[in-house]
């Protein structure tokens, strides 16, 4: 689960991809009316954070097995995971709480997780060790470059983007991750019948997500508007607190035609 913070602390880290920006060109006219879009996709920003002793130990002990190197070559997923299985890409996972839960409840799937925030990567590695999770591999690299260079068309079975940075101010909306060029890239790489699942706790961003996903011709909404929360996505303690306070959470699940 992209970069600084979302409305909820845990989820902010979720799709909060965090580091120096990487970009791709945007073709004119791709965004639905009223949805701002930048000339480039910036999938993350730098975030402050300190790696703990436990996270550093996890890097040392588990990194060689669960961290994959970025390379400008197609990923051999069965070799990377030690087995063939449906491949799910997660863009930004924060501190890895939801990621670890989903990997445990879906043991028959492989999860390729992109996050550049070092404490978050260390935290997920620590969870992998503590919970004996085998079906996660981590790429500590910008997800846009991973998509461009390591994931050929129709090579993945699903995509998770949970609680990306909402960039609340209107002048910053163009920095949001969910934009037509990225969704087009992802749709091309998802197998027919595969899915993309996004979630946000910021309603204006949910509206933009629905517009952008709905405008992608390769995708079809699985619901009339927003989807019920799939059982595999857990509620974090921060999300539960927000719901008690009356804050909304919106899930969107689209399938590849």
The predicted pLDDT at position 17 comes to 36
Per-residue pLDDT in tens (0 to 9) along the chain, 257 residues: 544 334 433 434 343 433 322 333 333 334 444 444 444 444 444 444 688 999 999 999 999 999 999 999 999 999 999 999 999 999 999 999 999 999 999 999 999 999 999 999 999 999 999 999 999 999 999 999 999 999 999 999 999 999 999 998 989 899 999 999 999 999 999 999 999 999 999 999 999 999 999 999 999 999 999 999 999 999 977 688 778 888 899 999 999 99
Residues tagged active-site: 165
Q: How far apart are CA 186 and CA 147, in angstroms?
A: 8
| pTM of the complete model | 0.82
Taking domain 9-256, whether its CATH number is 3.40.50.150 is answered by yes
Q: Is-contact 189 151, C-beta < 8 A? A: yes
The predicted pLDDT at position 1 comes to 53
The predicted pLDDT at position 81 comes to 98
Domain spans of the chain? Answer: 9-256
């Amino acid at each position: 689960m992209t970069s600084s913070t979302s409305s909820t602390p845990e989820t902010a880290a979720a799709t909060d991809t965090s580091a120096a920006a990487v970009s791709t060109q945007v073709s004119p006219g791709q965004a639905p009316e009223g949805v701002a879009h930048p000339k480039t996709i910036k999938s993350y920003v730098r975030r402050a954070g300190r790696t703990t002793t436990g996270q550093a130990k996890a890097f040392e002990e588990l990194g060689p097995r669960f961290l994959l190197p970025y390379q400008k070559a197609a990923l051999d997923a069965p070799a990377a995971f030690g087995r063939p299985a449906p491949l799910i890409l997660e863009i930004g996972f924060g501190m890895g709480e939801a990621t670890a839960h989903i990997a445990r409840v879906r043991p028959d799937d492989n999860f390729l997780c992109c996050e550049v925030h070092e404490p978050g990567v260390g935290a997920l590695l620590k969870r992998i060790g503590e919970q004996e999770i085998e079906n996660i591999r981590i790429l500590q690299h910008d997800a846009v470059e991973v998509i461009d260079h390591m994931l050929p068309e129709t090579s993945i079975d699903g995509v998770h983007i949970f609680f990306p940075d909402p960039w609340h101010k209107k002048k910053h909306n163009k920095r949001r991750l969910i934009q037509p060029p990225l969704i087009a890239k992802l749709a091309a790489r998802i197998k027919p019948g595969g899915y993309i699942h996004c979630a946000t706790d910021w309603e204006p961003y949910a509206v933009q997500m629905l517009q952008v996903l709905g405008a992608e011709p390769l995708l079809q909404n699985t619901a009339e508007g927003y989807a019920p929360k799939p059982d595999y996505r857990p509620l974090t303690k921060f999300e539960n607190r927000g719901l008690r306070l009356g804050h909304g959470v919106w899930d969107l699940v689209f399938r590849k035609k």
